[in-house]
Structure 1
Amino acid sequence: MLGCFTLPDAEPGAADQLLTDLAENLSRQGLRVVGALQVNSGGSADCACDMDLRVLGDTGPMIRISQSLGPGAVACRLDSGALQTAAGRVSARLTEGADICILPKFGKQEALGLGFRDVIAEALHEGVPVLIHVPIEQRAPFDAFAGELAEWVDPAGLAEWSQRAVRQGKAA
């Protein structure tokens, strides 16, 4: 199962906080939650915030996926190599067993076939449900990738969808 949602009019970071709260709640219920959560912090003169990924179930450090490009820079600040490192660490957690995989978003890197795209496919192949945020601007590339596998979920119903997906995964 591939659950996805969008938050079209939300404040920046709202989807990250929603997924963090959900992952913590599911973990408290005893579920093996793997994936990654984005943590936005601080900021500096040349960027609005620093972006890190916390790999769930991994004792390693958070991975900084943003890079400072200097004042006045207009290019993407994403460190694509760091994102691939995070994807590799999530993949390693999948091989140890999981009830559900939560990923921060289907972004530009995933649209290009990179980032967490292979992790999504790996989890689904292993029968592990995946939940991911899809920003509105990535809807078309996500639809092309996921096709009929995608199940759009109302953000208010993410916990219920997750519980149902885990039950169905265990029954299969």
Structure 2
Amino acid sequence: MLAWFGLDDTASPGESDRLLADLAQDMAATGHRVAGAIQINRDLGPDCACDMDLIVLGDETNPIRISQSLGGGSSGCRLDTGALELAAARLQSRMDGAALMILPKFGRQEAVGRGFRDVIGQAMLQGIPVLLHVPRQQRQAFQDFAQGMATRLQPADLVTWCHRQLTEAA
């Protein structure tokens, strides 16, 4: 099972990351093994872009910085794609026995076949339900990837969906 949610344009920056971090914590408290990664954005002040870290669930003491500082006035993409690939590999090695997977998003890297895309496919092959955020800009690429196998959820329904997946897996 593959499920996703989106947020409207009025959502505050980082809202999906906060929702998923809270959800991952709640699901881990159920005693089920939850795999995945959450993104933590660290505010550096009004004149600086935030630092972005990925926390692989089960390996919380080793966050992976996925942003790079490009300096003042820079307008290029700050994503460190090598660090994202490292996070995906680290997560892939922790998937066995998981009852649920939570991922930060299906972003530009996943849209072009990188990032967590292979992890999503592997989880689905193993029967691990996957939940993630899909930003508006990547929805068509996600639909092409999912080929009709994904369910759209409202943010208010995430907890219920996850509990249902965990109950069915037990």
Please indicate the TM-score interval, normalised by the length of the shorter structure.
over 0.9
Secondary structure of the residue that 1:142 maps to in structure 2?
Answer: helix
> Who is 1:42 aligned against?
43
> Who is 1:12 aligned against?
13
CA contact (8 A) 1:46 1:68 kept: no
For normalisation by structure 1, the TM-score amounts to 0.94
> Who is 1:103 aligned against?
103
CA contact (8 A) 1:99 1:129 kept: yes
Secondary structure of the residue that 2:38 maps to in structure 1?
Answer: strand
> Who is 1:162 aligned against?
162
1:107 and 1:65 mapped to 2: Cα distance? 13
Deviations 1:127-164 (A, max 9, x none): 00000000011101000001211100110000111111
Structure with greater helix percent: 1
Deviations 1:28-77 (A, max 9, x none): 11111110000000326873200000000125510000001111111100
1:52 aligns with 2:57: no
Following TM superposition, by how much is the alpha carbon of 1:168 offset from its aligned partner in structure 2, in angstroms? 3.0
> Who is 2:72 aligned against?
71
> Who is 2:63 aligned against?
62
For normalisation by structure 2, the TM-score amounts to 0.95
Secondary structure of the residue that 2:118 maps to in structure 1?
Answer: helix
Q: Which amino acid aligns with 1:70?
A: G
Pick closer, same or farther for the CA change 1:149–1:169 going to 2, 3 Å: farther
Q: Which amino acid aligns with 1:7?
A: L
Which runs of at least 4 in structure 1 moved beyond 6 Å after TM superposition?
none
Q: Which amino acid aligns with 1:86?
A: A
Secondary structure of the residue that 2:156 maps to in structure 1?
Answer: helix
> Who is 1:150 aligned against?
150
CA RMSD of aligned residues (A): 1.4
2:135 and 2:36 mapped to 1: Cα distance? 18
Identical positions, percent: 53
Q: Which amino acid aligns with 1:129?
A: P
Q: Which amino acid aligns with 1:145?
A: F
User: Where do 5+ consecutive residues of structure 1 fail to align?
Assistant: none
User: Where do 5+ consecutive residues of structure 2 fail to align?
Assistant: none
> Who is 1:80 aligned against?
81
Secondary structure of the residue that 1:109 maps to in structure 2?
Answer: helix
Pick closer, same or farther for the CA change 1:3–1:121 going to 2, 3 Å: same
